[in-house]
């Protein structure tokens, strides 16, 4: 069997032609494909505005800045995420705090978030960054109620979850990034994500004032819009009105992203089919723990938990199956240890980390390949 990775991009002829057409056009960057991709992505998730940026980390960084993170601003996030979800607060000069996760969802435990909030003076915290981990949608309606109670903003890290949703109290689907509850949401277009641009990110929002801030921060803090200029010397004139960054996405990447977006719903269905096959294969096995199937899950990852994680990981590698671990708890990283966090602080996520393994999950994974993965896992435990 050829190598089977945990995640893999898919490039079709349509993707290639979209990039070539843009390559042969007048614009490679700051051209019309940017706004076109932003509009189509906003429609896909149901938001009013979208801002394309260089990558998911850039999206987090300028989102934190737009929300007012600076020195002495304190923000809560999940320890079960890629480090960028926490780092963005540090980039902006703020302080990050971690609340533990729920064992049955792997998402931020709101009771523990509230306990953390109450452990500090009123007004100590200004924001919360919930993470749609693995593609499981955070219930942002409940999160919003907590945020309003303590006057917090919400930055949704939806990198794993385009197309994912939760069901609100009225029985309606609320799609990740639609802006109905979170102030901002961010997405990633890294190759293993649902939509791949090589690198790339997107920020969505329903708040026009935040949208305008993001546009400035993305491009050096510069604007040429006549209505925003303090002076106007002519058609060439521009002003740097704040300290921004070069976090632009190119027209070439946006062309690729739009092509991939056209089959996003189809590929999400394929992820669900793969998840259901895993679910059926593993649901009654005493040596594996899996979470229940969820129709609103985006299934960026399919995760099992086992007491023999290291042994299984090594065994599967010998069979050309390359799994991954998501994630080492952020508060275990040496940088965050240097800030005072310690192993033992968050027992639920730490227990999860010792057992978790991400299996191959991507739309082009064939049934034959998946059956081989399942077969080898069972072989390991039953030999």
pLDDT digits (tens, 9 = 90+) for 15-49: 999 999 999 999 999 999 999 999 999 999 999 99
| DSSP letter string, 253-315 | HHHHHHHHHTTHHHHHHHHHHHHHHHHHHHTT-TT-B-PPP-TT---S-EEEE-TTHHHHHHH
Dist. CA 125–CA 367, nearest whole Å: 47
Contact 359, 278 (CB under 8 A): yes
- Note the pTM of the prediction, 2 decimals: 0.97
Spacing of C-alpha 365 from chain mean position = 22
Residues of the chain with CATH 3.90.1150.10: 264-382
Outline which parts of the chain fall under CATH 3.40.640.10.
4-261
Cα separation, 248 vs 29, whole angstroms = 8
Fold (topology level) of 264-382: 3.90.1150
Location of structure tokens 């494909």? 33
Instruction: Evaluate if residue 1 carries a pLDDT over 90.
Output: no
Look at residue 364 in the predicted model and tell me its pLDDT.
Answer: 98
* Mean per-residue pLDDT of the chain: 97
Q: At what angle do helices 367-382 and 309-318 cross, to 10 degrees?
A: 130
**Angle subtended at Cα 208 by Cα 206 and Cα 214, rounded to the nearest 5 degrees:** 100
pLDDT in tens, 206-255: 999 999 999 999 999 999 999 989 999 999 999 999 999 999 999 999 99
pLDDT digits (tens, 9 = 90+) for 118-175: 999 999 999 999 999 999 999 999 999 999 999 999 999 999 999 999 999 999 999 9
Inter-residue contact 217 to 247 (CB < 8 Å): yes
Structurally, what CATH architecture does the domain formed by 4-261 represent? 3-Layer(aba) Sandwich (3.40)
CB 71 within 8 A of CB 343: no
């Amino acid at each position: 069997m050829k190598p089977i990775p945990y995640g893999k991009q898919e490039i079709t002829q349509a993707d290639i032609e979209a990039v070539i057409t843009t390559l042969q056009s007048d614009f490679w960057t700051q051209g019309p494909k940017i706004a076109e991709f932003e509009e189509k992505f906003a429609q896909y998730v149901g938001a009013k505005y979208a801002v394309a940026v260089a990558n998911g980390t850039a999206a987090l960084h300028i989102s934190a800045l737009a929300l007012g993170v600076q020195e002495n601003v304190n923000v809560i996030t999940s320890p079960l995420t890629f480090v960028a979800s926490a780092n963005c607060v540090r980039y902006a000069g703020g302080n990050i705090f971690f609340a533990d996760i729920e064992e049955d969802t792997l998402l931020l435990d709101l009771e523990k978030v509230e306990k953390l909030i109450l452990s500090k003076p009123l007004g100590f915290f200004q924001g919360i960054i919930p993470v749609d981990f693995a593609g499981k949608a955070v219930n942002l309606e409940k999160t919003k109620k907590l945020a309003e109670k303590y006057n917090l903003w919400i930055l949704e890290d939806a990198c794993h979850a385009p197309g994912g949703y939760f069901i609100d109290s009225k029985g309606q689907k609320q799609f990740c990034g639609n802006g109905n509850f979170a102030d901002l949401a961010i997405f990633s277009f890294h190759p293993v994500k649902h939509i791949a641009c090589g690198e790339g990110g997107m920020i969505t929002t329903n708040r026009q004032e935040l949208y305008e801030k993001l546009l400035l921060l993305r491009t050096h803090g510069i604007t040429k819009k006549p209505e925003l200029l303090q002076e106007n010397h002519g058609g060439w004139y521009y002003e740097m009105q704040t300290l921004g960054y070069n976090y632009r996405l190119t027209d070439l990447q946006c062309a690729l992203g739009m092509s991939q977006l056209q089959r996003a719903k189809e590929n999400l269905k394929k992820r669900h089919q793969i998840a259901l096959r895993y679910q059926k294969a593993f649901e009654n096995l005493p040596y594996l723990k899996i979470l229940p199937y969820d129709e609103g899950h985006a299934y960026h990852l399919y995760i099992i938990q086992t007491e023999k994680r290291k042994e299984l990981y090594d065994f599967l590698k010998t069979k050309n199956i390359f799994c991954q671990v998501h994630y080492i708890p952020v508060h275990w990283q040496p940088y965050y240890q240097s800030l005072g966090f310690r192993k033992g602080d968050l027992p639920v996520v730490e227990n999860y980390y010792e057992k978790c393994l991400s299996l191959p999950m991507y739309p082009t994974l064939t049934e034959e390949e998946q059956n081989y993965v399942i077969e080898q896992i069972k072989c390991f435990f039953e030999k």
